[in-house]
Structures are given as C-alpha cells and as structure tokens.
Amino acid sequence: MHDSGLRHVSGSAVYTDDIPEPAGTLIAYVRYADKAYARIKHTDTSAVAAHPGVAAVITATEIPGINNIGPVFPDEPLLAEGFAEYYGHPLFAVAACDLKTAREASAKARIEWEVLEPELSVRSAYEKQQFVAPVKQMKRGDADKGLTDAPHRLKKNYRVGGQDHFYLEGQVSLSVPGEDGEITIYVSTQHPSEVQHMAAKVLGVSHHKVIVEVRRMGGGFGGKETQAAALACISAVLAVKTGKPVKLRYDRDDDMIITGKRHDFEATAEAGYDDNGRISALRTLLLANAGWSADLSLPVCSRAMFHTDNAYYIEHLKVTGCCCKTNTVSNTAFRGFGGPQGMFFTEQVIDDVARRLGKDPADVRKLNYYDKDTRNITHYGQPVSDFELNDMTRMLEQSSDYYTRREEIKIYNGQNEIFRRGLALTPVKFGISFTVKSYNQAGALINIYPDGTVQLNHGGTEMGQGLFIKTAQVAADVLGIDPAQIRCMATNTGKVPNTSATAASSGTDLTEWPVSLSATGFYRTPDLNYNEETATGSPFYYFAYGAAATEVIIDSLTGEYKLLRADILHDCGNSLNEAIDRGQIEGGYIQGVGWLTSEELVWNKEGRLLTHAPSTYKIPTCRDIPPIFNVDFYHKPNAKDTIFKSKAVGEPPFMLGMSAFFALKDAVGSFAAPGEDVILDAPATPERVLMEIERLKSVHQNALKPAELYRLYTGAEPFITVTVIETSGSAPCRAGAKMAVGQTGRLAGSVGGGRLEHSAVQHSIDMLKRCDVNLHTEEFSLGASLGQCCGGRVRLLYEPVNIFQHKLALFGSGHIAKEIISVLAGTSVRLTVIDNRPTEFPTELPSNCRTLLTEDPVAEMPVLKDCDAALIMTHDHSLDFDIVYDALKESRFDFLGLIGSAKKRQRFEYLLRGRGIADEDIARLICPSALKAYAPQNPERLPLQYPHRYCNILSQTKFSHNR
C-alpha cells in the first residue's frame, strides 16, 4: 500500500495548501493578459495598490533580481515585459489580506494595449520558421532513397492534441520569510532544486538563502517539473517585499489558462513498405507546439524523435523535430515527455499501412518489431539488447484471446448497422533515463537516531507514484529494520542539495541507489553516452516494455463510445511493489486513454482557451474504466543493474492508452471499404468519431451497399468486377484491390481512385453496354497522363458477372427443367423457372437461375417480358396451352419451345387455329420431340436435346430483345 494511502482517503494527508498558515499570511493573485499577442504600451497599477487590504503589487520592474525563469533558454520573463505573448500571460501580482480583495484590486489596473495578430497555428509557425529552439534531426540509412525504392508508399499528415495535467491539487506555493533575507518556500513541485535556484535568481540572493520544501504533491504528471517555479518566485518576491508569508494558489480555471500542458503536435509522415506491410523507410517531420516560450520543448521534441521508432526496426529512418513558437501557453513536460507523440504518429502510419493492405494491424506491427539478434539497433544507434515484445505480444494475444475476438467482432459488425466494435493491440518501448545526461544523478541522507528509528531524506519527490514507500522498503531492507521504523521526510533542498527533477520515470531508479549505498549517498547512472552533435549513441540505460489490447464499442449515430475490455501486459522487471506498480499501470493507461479520446483543448480564434474547467474539459472518470480490465506483470528481471532488477514504471504505461484510440479507429474502419483510409486525428472525441463515420458514409452513398452487391452476385443484375492483378513501381493500389461496377456506374470497392479508377469505370460501363461476356486485361502506365505524381504500372482484370446474352423462361419445374438448369448452369443464359409448387424448385440454384412462384403464369407474362425465349413444360397440359396461346397472341418471346409429344403439338396446333392464331405464328412453336430425329422412345435424352436445340437456334438468331 501507498505510505500515505490512509491519509489520502481520510483527508489527513497534508498538501501545501493544508499547511497551517503562519500569522499574517497574505494571499496573492496573478492578473494575466486577456490578449494572445499584444504590445503593452503602459501599465498603471496605482489604483490596485491603493485598494483597501492590498499589501503589495509587483510588475516586471519590481523584480529584485532577474525577471526570467526559462529553465533551458532565458526566454521566459516571470512577469510580462513589453509584450503579452499568450492569453494567460502573467502581467502583475497582488498580495492582499484575502483572495477576494486581491482579485477585486487587480481588476483596477489600467493597461494600454496595442493588439497584434497572434500566431495560433503550428503549421503556419513552421512555414514562417518561427521556432523557440534549434531544429534537430536524427537519421539512419537513406530515407529518401528508401522511399523511392519501396514497392508502396504512404504520405499523410497527422495531428495529436495536447493535454492538461489536471493534477487534483493545483499549482500552489507558500513563501515564508525568515531572518537575514532567508526564505522558505513550500511549493508543490517535482523539482525543488530548480525552484531554489530560480527563486534565488529572481530575488537576487544567493542559493543558500533559499530553502524549498515539498512533502507531497496531489499529482504532478510533469506539470510541476518547471511550471511550479513561477508561483514559487512570485510568492517569494511578494513575501520579501512585504516581510509577510505569502500564499499563491491558482484556482482550476486560472491554472488551466496560465500553465503549460502536453505539447500538441502535427506531423507529416511518409512510409515505404512492401506487400506484407514491412516498412523499410520512414521520413517524419514533427512539429511540436512549443507555445510562447521554450520551457522544456527541446528535450520534449527530442524524446519524440527518440521514440519515432516505438517498437519497430525501420531500416531507413529520418526524423526532423521543430519546436514551433505560437501564442499559446508554454507547453511543458507531461508523462511520457514527447515519447507518446513520437510513437503515436508511427502507430498511425502502421495502422494505415495495414488498412491499405487489408491486414490486421497487429500482424503488421509484429512484422515490423525489433528482433533479438538482428534488426536490433535504433535509428540513433543504441542497441535494443533485451527486446521483450515478441514474447510479450504472444502472451498477450493468448491471454486476451485476441484472434478469436477479432473474428467475433467481424461477425458482429457485419450484423449491426448502428453499433460497431473495434479492437487493437499496441506495443510500447520506452527509453529510461533523462536524455540530458547530467540529470541522471541523485542523493540521499539517512539519519539514524539512538532509539533505532530512521529519517529518510532524498532528492526525489512524492506525487502519488509511490516513490516514498519504495525508498522506505529498500532502506528497511538494506538496514535490516522494519519499514515502520523509517520516516520518509519531506523533500528539502537543505537536506539533500542539487538534485534532479523527479521525472523521466527515473525517481526510483536514481533515488534507490543512494538510499541503499550509505548514510549520505550519491548515484549517477552508468553507461550513458549520447552525442548531441551527431545525434547518435545510447541516451537510455534500458528500455521498459508493455503491450495492451483494448476493445471498444461505438454508436455510429452519435459517435459516443465505451471501452469494453482492456488487457495489459507490462514489464516492471522485478517489481519493487506490485500494488504500487499496478496503480501506475492502470492510472497511466487511463490517463493515456483520456489524452487520445475525451480530453480536448479548444482555443478560440483570439487564442483564448475555452476548455478551462471540468465542465468542458473531459478527463476520464471511474465510469470510463473498462468493465473488464486485466493487468498482468511480465515477470522478468531487468538485464541492467537497477535496484533489485526492477524497471521504471511511472511513464511507460501511459502509452498503452494508444490501444483504445486504435480500437476506435478500427471500429470506425468498419464503415470503410477494404483498403480505404480512415482519417482520425487525436483526440478521438465522439464528435471526431461521428464526423469520420459520416464522411465515410457519404463517400459510399453512391456506392453499392452490401445488400445490393449480394443481389448483383446472385444474378439479378449484370456488373463487372475489376481486379488489380499486378503492380510495379509506385502504384496507388495493391494487387488484389477489387471494385465492382454496376450498370449506371455505381461502385463498390476501389482500385486506387483517381483517373486510373475513372478509366476502369468507363471501360466497365462500355463492356456492360456491349453485353461483353469475355474477360479482358488492361495495362496502365501511371504518370502525369493519369494524374499520378509518380510512375508505375498497374494491370487490371475485367470480369463480367451476370451479363446474360439470353434470358430463358422455363414454365414448369419438373425433372426436365431441372436437367436444363444444370446443363445451362454458369452459361450466359439467365434462367427463370416458373411454377406454383415451391417444393418443386431445385434446392440448389445456380447463380444464373432464379425462381418465380405463381398460381397464374399467364398473369405473370408481362413480368417476363425481358425473356427472349420460353420452354413450356408444366405438369398440366391445359396450362401449357394457355401459356402458348397467350405467347403467340401477344407475340411474346423470340423462341417458343413446347416440350411434349408430336401428338400434343398437333392438338395444340388444331386448338390454336380454332382460336384464330395465324399459321405463320403457329409455326413459331417449336417442339423438337415432334421431329423425326428425336424419337419419343428416347425420352431420357430430352433434357439434353432441348438445350442443344435451343442453343443452335439462338446462335442463328438475332434477337430484338437483347440491347
């Protein structure tokens, strides 16, 4: 259990805002810009300062030290200087007796603006080359050539949204001034040392005057790696100015409007792949939305580049990363730190490749996996020495029953028009270590008291992830005492100095060693060597792995969806604490699901965040947890020398949430034709899901529906199937792609679209018009003439289906009719067999035969008007006569055959004459058995003789009925 578990649920866990306020504590409020981009011509805060209850107001000019808190580049003024660069930019801060007073006072400022045109689009910032950091590239092989050489190519733009951290405890800081300029800052931060150094810089004092302490955070998720510094610094400056303790806490709306989030990204990805879906080349351009300042965007974007391979060996890979400057919040660390975004785009590519090839995306994923002995070097040159995912995927496929459910879903979707299900299995390979080498260090201080109890201090911070219980367990183990003897102390820069952030999932890995080493330990991760200049080497100590299979159901009328089941297999090495790690896996997965599904950040065209509260920003709730949720550990010790051979678990499970997104895409894909692209960006909100379903449906509106296609195939209507039987070079389709063209040019399927398809449709319509029953092949050279950008060849096969040169009505379904049907099965003669006895129809009809059940065949004659020939052989002679009489009188059919004896033919002739039918018409009634050659002593030959005779006559006749 978590060391604070009971305190969390009983409400007795002390967070920064719960610390009893020292007497005289003032409350601060930050007034921020309500313009996305503007020049600040003049700020007059005199009315604010004069407001009763206000103790101090600070603007940029009142900062005693340096007005800058940029953690990587000095590009981030604490309070706006000259320009407001986003809607939410802190302008000035007020300290007053209470929050209400501070707020009211801040409204009295007079600010003169020159409003400028904000840049809100990542693409357009990229086009203008507006970056907050240098553009970076990583590559292996020759992606450009690899793309040209590949049999198939895909090029698409993708987007993935950002994410608000939505820590339950918002950003907060309490600064308490001490004697001689000393100041203690209690702040909810993942990086106390950086806050200490930053506050000293802003205050213009030396480091030893600032003490930063954090007992615990109510969640950080990366949002408190750098973003807490602003609150700490503002409260510290106000505390120093007033000589009083000052607390600053953003409410939820202000927190969401002011602080940075996960970077939203756009990407252009081009992949070269073969018929099986193996990707040989990938060229990706990553555009990270840095927001108005650099913050951690450069390392975030680097991590995205490091994870562009995810679990896949791609021989030729080039990835370019740009940190684009826009007038929005300055985006920052968030669980996965760019890794999720980098992986997501490649997963989109793999999913699209699989769909184009008509393959199960899980199979294409496995095909592209790293291997153990070959194909095991990343694009930046680090060996993947312990690739566990082949084993793990096999295990997960079994435990989740993946392939059985895949088949069940296919059937379900075939039978359900409104509700559709989807399934996806996705892998994660995540690099463990800070990519900035110097961050990979930690320290600890253990105080042992005479009664044998122990105080454990270290540089790591507790944000709910269970670092403290894990360190206590290790310390207890090393010291040989009961964990109850150990107190985990609040993290304090005065106890363990100059620490790294608790981030990059490395808290446990880094902190445990010094804890285990000695009373005052220090540890640095070994084996890291990465060359920033050449972008090659080994930035990670090891990789953590995981795989998840998620099943969803969507309502195609509303776009709403539910997770039905999730199965996870995750690799924690030797887990230090399975209860804690399970929490990390479940929580990470759900947070990842939220990122890619319901959590959407919407800015209006003025650059104002519209979704700044839980009413409009939707994080997953307990109702969104899949009802079947199986989490398993992959029990295998870490190959690297980590504490008890464990593996870091904080961030990697976050990316398992991708399986939910791809399950949604799979469900939406049930509305697409085979080989057709599904276009779904993240987050896949119900709106986006619905829009894509609607788009797919409208594309298919002129297309044949499955039921119609079935009707075509069962013989009612002629059509042509067009099949791609051969391709070379870069063709817009793959061999095997199929399309059906109906009489009016209605379509099902596709042979790749564009002018190639247009030309194939025209050709098919011509064939239908000509009643052409022959197979054809046709070869196309692709290129500019067919509107294709790249060269290649495609060979098409045209197969006529149900083109009937003749239509024959069989009156009566006796044994002769049955024989005729079987003799003519599969020919270009379409048969209609008419009878009033349903049980008499042949049980297995060939596709060119249909039945007509009727008591009164004569009345049905108009229905049969497209038949050019009739054979009459009912079980009732008088009915036969009625049919013959009607046919001759109305001059129906070009060929009229009577089955029966010569005597029957004579009797009919006599009766017909009596009814006034002319002799030349009566001559049309052909009765082969009445001829000498077909002697009635051989009645068993009749079934063969009729078709034979019929075909002979047909071949000599030009029928008027046949268009």
Choose from ligand MOS, ligand HPA, ligand MTE, none: what does 303 bind? Cβ within 5-8 Å by kind: ligand HPA
Listed in sequence order, the residues at least 6 apart from 185 whose beta carbon sits closer than 8 Å to its beta carbon are 173, 174, 175, 176, 195, 196, 199, 210, 211, 212, 213, 232, 235, 236
| Cβ(661)–Cβ(340) below 8 Å | no
Stretch that binds ligand MTE, among 216-224, 289-297, 428-436, 791-799 (CB under 6 A): 216-224
User: Contact between 442 and ligand MOS (CB under 6 A)?
Assistant: no
Choosing from 169, 270, 651, 757, which is the catalytic residue?
651
In this chain, which stretch among 48-56, 130-138, 328-336, 838-846 interacts with ligand MOS, using CB under 6 A?
328-336
CA distance 697 to 705: 10
Q: Binding partner of residue 696 among ligand MOS, ligand MTE, ligand HPA, none, CB under 5 to 8 Å per kind?
A: none
Task: Answer yes or no whether residue 198 interacts with ligand HPA by CB under 6 A.
Answer: no
At residue 764, φ and ψ (nearest 5 deg) are: -65, -40
Told to check if 504 binds ligand MTE by CB under 6 A, we report yes
Q: Which is nearer to ligand HPA, 296 or 563 (CB)?
A: 296
Query: Shortest distance, CB of residue 319 to ligand HPA, whole angstroms?
Result: 16
Restricted to residues 1-40, the positions that interact with ligand MTE (CB under 6 A) are none
467 binds, among ligand MTE, ligand HPA, ligand MOS, none (CB under 5 to 8 A by kind): ligand MTE
Please identify which residue in 465, 473, 764, 848 interacts with ligand MTE, judged by CB under 6 A. 465
Distance CA 160, CA 442 (A): 34
Min separation Cβ 505 and ligand HPA, Å: 8
State which of residues 146, 218, 260, 299 lies at the interface with ligand HPA (CB under 6 A): 299
Q: Which of 292, 334, 369, 893 binds ligand MOS (CB under 6 A)?
A: 334
Q: How is residue 854 written in tokens?
A: 């009727």
Q: How many residues belong to the site for ligand MTE (CB under 6 A)? A: 21
Indicate the pairing of strand 806-811 with strand 279-291.
Answer: unpaired
Joined together, the tokens standing for residue 123 give 């693409």
Task: Count the Cβ atoms, other than its own, within 10 Å of residue 252.
Answer: 14
CA distances from 338 to 293, 326, 468 (A): 16, 18, 26
C-alpha span between 753 and 301 (Å, rounded): 36
With respect to ligand MTE, which residue has the nearer C-beta, 340 or 752? 340
Closest-approach residue to ligand MOS (CB): 222
- Rounded Cα distance, 78 and 917, in Å: 108
Query: Binding to ligand MTE by residue 658, rule CB under 6 A?
Result: no
Among 51, 215, 325, 335, binds ligand MTE (CB under 6 A): 335
Stretch that binds ligand HPA, among 140-148, 435-443, 455-463, 918-926 (CB under 6 A): 435-443
Residue 922 in contact with ligand HPA, rule: CB under 6 A? no
328 in Cβ contact with 143 (< 8 Å) = no
CB 511 within 8 A of CB 444: yes
Structure tokens at 917: 């039918």
Active site (annotated) includes residue 651: yes
Residue number with the smallest Cβ distance to ligand HPA:
504
CA nearest neighbour of 822 among 801, 802, 840, 843:
843
Nearer to ligand HPA, 299 or 583 (CB): 299
Q: Is 500 one of the binding residues for ligand MOS (CB under 6 A)?
A: no
Work out how close the CB of 590 gets to ligand MTE at its nearest, in angstroms, rounded to a whole number: 11
434 binds, among ligand MTE, ligand MOS, ligand HPA, none (CB under 5 to 8 A by kind): ligand HPA
**Which 3 state secondary structure label does DSSP give 662?**
helix
Q: How far is the CB of 100 from ligand MOS (least distance, A)?
A: 34
Q: Which two tokens stand for residue 857?
A: 């065949």
Strand pairing of 738-741 and 747-749?
antiparallel
Backbone angles phi, psi at 186, to 5 degrees: -95, 120
Contact assessment for residue 121 and residue 288, using Cβ atoms and an 8 Å cutoff: no
Q: Report, in Å, the least distance between residue 221 CB and ligand MOS.
A: 6
Among positions 221, 344, 430, 946, the unique one binding ligand MTE when judged by CB under 6 A: 221
DSSP notation for 544-610: EEEEEEEEEEEETTT--EEEEEEEEEE--BS-S-HHHHHHHHHHHHHHHHHHHTT----B-TTS-BS
Which residue of 296, 367, 737, 873 would you call a contact of ligand HPA, by CB under 6 A? 296
Segment contacting ligand MTE by CB under 6 A, of 304-312, 496-504, 610-618, 918-926 = 496-504
Asked if 458 touches ligand HPA (CB under 6 A), the answer is no
User: Of all residues in this chain, which one has the CB nearest to ligand MTE in the complex?
Assistant: 507
**C-alpha distances in angstroms, 438 versus 23, 648, 802?**
41, 19, 74
Residues 587-616 that bind ligand MTE (CB under 6 A): 587
Q: Is 337 in the site for ligand MOS (CB under 6 A)?
A: yes
CB count within 10 Å of CB 961 equals: 13
The residues, any chain, with a CB within 8 Å of residue 518's CB and separated by 6 or more, are 446
Give the contacts of 416 (CB within 8 A, at least 6 positions apart).
none
| Pair of tokens at residue 279 | 């990707």
Q: Are 72 and 299 in contact (CB under 8 A)?
A: yes
Q: Which does 435 bind (CB under 5 to 8 A by kind): ligand HPA, ligand MTE, ligand MOS, none?
A: ligand HPA
Query: Which x/- pattern, by CB under 6 A, does the window 319-338 give for ligand HPA?
Result: --------------x---x-
Residue matched to tokens 């080493």: 517
* Smaller CB separation from ligand HPA, 299 or 943: 299
Interacting residues with ligand MTE between 629 and 648 (CB under 6 A):
648
- If you write DSSP's letter for every residue of 805-847 in order, what string do you get? SEEEEEE--SHHHHHHHHHHTTSSEEEEEEES-GGGS-SS--T
Cite the DSSP H helix spans in 177-293: 192-203, 228-242, 252-258
Alpha helices in 134-280 (DSSP H): 143-149, 192-203, 228-242, 252-258
Q: Which of 427, 464, 718, 857 binds ligand MTE (CB under 6 A)?
A: 464
Range 91-125 burial, b when 16+ CB lie within 10 A, else e: bbbbbbeeeebbebbbebbebeeeeeebbbebeeb
We find the least distance from the C-beta atom of residue 639 to ligand HPA, in angstroms, to be 21
Q: Kindly state whether residue 219 participates in binding ligand MTE, applying the rule CB under 6 A.
A: yes
Q: Is the Cβ of residue 85 or residue 581 nearer to ligand MTE in the bound state?
A: 581
Q: Is the dihedral of CA 648, 649, 650, 656 positive or negative?
A: positive
Candidate ranges 60-68, 167-175, 428-436, 900-908; the one touching ligand HPA (CB under 6 A) = 428-436
- Take residue 895 and report the two structure tokens written for it: 């060929």
Among 225, 270, 586, 757, binds ligand MOS (CB under 6 A): 225
Q: According to CB under 6 A, which one of 240, 333, 442, 833 is a site residue for ligand MOS?
A: 333
**Partner interacting with residue 463 (select from ligand MTE, ligand MOS, ligand HPA, none; CB below 5-8 Å by kind):** ligand MTE
Instruction: Decide: is 500 part of the binding site for ligand MTE (CB under 6 A).
Output: no
504 forms part of the interface with ligand MOS (CB under 6 A): yes
CA distances, 722 to each of 466, 551, 627, 779 (Å)? 61, 35, 45, 12
Q: How far is the CB of 501 from ligand MOS (least distance, A)?
A: 7
Residue 435 found at the interface with ligand HPA (CB under 6 A):
yes
Binding residues (CB under 6 A) for ligand MOS: these are 190, 222, 225, 333-335, 337, 503-504, 651
The residues carrying an active-site annotation are 651
Binding residues (CB under 6 A) for ligand MTE: these are 219-222, 335, 463-465, 467, 502-508, 584, 587, 648, 650-651
Binding residues (CB under 6 A) for ligand HPA: these are 225, 296, 299, 303, 333, 337, 434-436, 439, 501, 503-504
